[in-house]
Amino acid sequence: MLSGLGAGLFFTQQQNNQTITDVNRSQIQTLPAKITQPIVQTSRLSDVAENVVQSVVNISSEKLIQRKQASPFGPFQNDPFFRHFFGNPVPQQSPSLKQKEQSLGSGVIISDEGIILTNNHVIERAESIRISLADGQEADAEVLGADPDSDLAVLKLKTKLSHLKPLTLGDSGQLRLGEVVLAVGNPFGVGQTVTMGIVSAKGRANVGIVEYEDFIQTDAAINPGNSGGALVNLKGELIGINTAIISRSGGYQGIGFAIPTNMVKPIMESLIQKGKVVRGWLGIGIQDLSEDLQQAFSLQDQKGVIVTQVMEESPAKKGGLRQGDIILAVNGKPTTSTAKLRNLIANAGAGKKVTLKVKRNKQVKTLQVQLGEKPDPKVVAQKSKMPSSFGGLHVANSTKQLRKRFGVTDDQQGVFILQVESGSSAARAGFRPGDLIQTANGQKVTSIDQLKNAVKGKKKMIPVLIRRQGGVLYMVLPQLP
């Protein structure tokens, strides 16, 4: 279970369930005469911890939420037997009540002017925000900008406070697996707390927390209320913003995620300067390369991301990208997954030129593309002309009736899949009735005859481009039906 780290009623539950046990002294063994030198010196850890605590703040936000008023008749008001005798004593829709809700989180001071970094979910829809420093000073804060897509927000103190101690932003790209890190935050609202762990993994994406993910994974103990707190290295540099945990209970279980500073920095600067994040945009549909697709495209062990769609009048179209291209790198950085590619393009920024390393028809090419600004999702959907649903393994040529049946516009050409036989290799591969085959083996398909010619002489592992429910993706056809 993924959990944000905002504190709430969980604090009270933890307090009630807390138990304290005495040490069984009979189990203590005599220590050896010689003790090896610890990997990390305690004095060094203490210096870092005591300094960093001064830079981490507690955040208390308050917002109004609407809750449905409980009916005096409870769950029986919709029961037909109850209404037969009592009529409709209350409306079917119970009236809503506005209630104040408080949440607790953490933040990091990053400038002498009172600029504070935190998570968007800590202050989202907040009507008031109160900041508390480790030395007891308090002040209200305002939101300079927030970005739900990365779960970051930037605050500014409304009152100038003395002796602020901003943290230095470190280079999260230099982190190594196993490196010792400290997590500092306000778990369960108890106040600034320091825990220690290691970097368990880097570049965690597709976790499902936010749209843009490139998390540092750590086993440093972080709990509800740590959201927006600092993850620091042993130099005392900020290398991540603690954001979420994986937990079955809501508490610490050894897997925490932090947004790396190399991702935080451009987002933070954009929020401060413009109040929003201006991300780079190519205007393409993309898909990860499965083992089957690698085999079908003769890529062997080469990693990359396949282009499933190039939107009209997009930066990608102008830059020469084509459907079926395999993007191997952006500005020399490998694109091993769709998440990695999306982050590289987004962080590059609108208006910037990027160098794409692309594989096309077994040849590697270099393309220069000037990125656009990521538009509103509704605009993207209109430009891509993607129907709401479409179709298509017994196959049939596209007709007006079939396009109407499957909700496909007249300008979309291909061969419809009408039926997928249960238990067949095509069914196991994931094909569905309603899929619209548009290319096969790299060749455009507008009829069954063209489909046959495209796969002629190739019995298995045929790459096929299909449209499905508003999206475009490549699949591998193990064999023809």
Give the DSSP letter of residue 144: E
Token pair belonging to 316: 């990608």
- The CB density around residue 307, as the number of other CB atoms within 10 Å, is 24
Q: What is the rounded CA–CA span in Å between residue 301 and residue 375?
A: 35
Task: Name which of 347, 144, 134, 351 is nearest 259 in CA terms.
Answer: 347
Q: What is the rounded CA–CA span in Å between residue 429 and residue 61?
A: 49
Contact 404, 416 (CB under 8 A): no
**Per-residue CA distances from 420 to 18, 131, 149, 397, 437 (Å):** 56, 59, 37, 16, 13
Q: What is the rounded CA–CA span in Å between residue 129 and residue 62?
A: 7
Give the DSSP letter of residue 8: S
Q: Annotated catalytic sites, by residue?
A: 121, 151, 227
Q: What is the rounded CA–CA span in Å between residue 236 and residue 215?
A: 19
**What residue has token string 């780290």?**
5
Alpha helices per DSSP H over 255-362: 261-274, 291-296, 315-319, 338-348
Token pair belonging to 200: 């368990």
Give the DSSP letter of residue 300: T
Q: What is the rounded CA–CA span in Å between residue 344 and residue 340?
A: 6
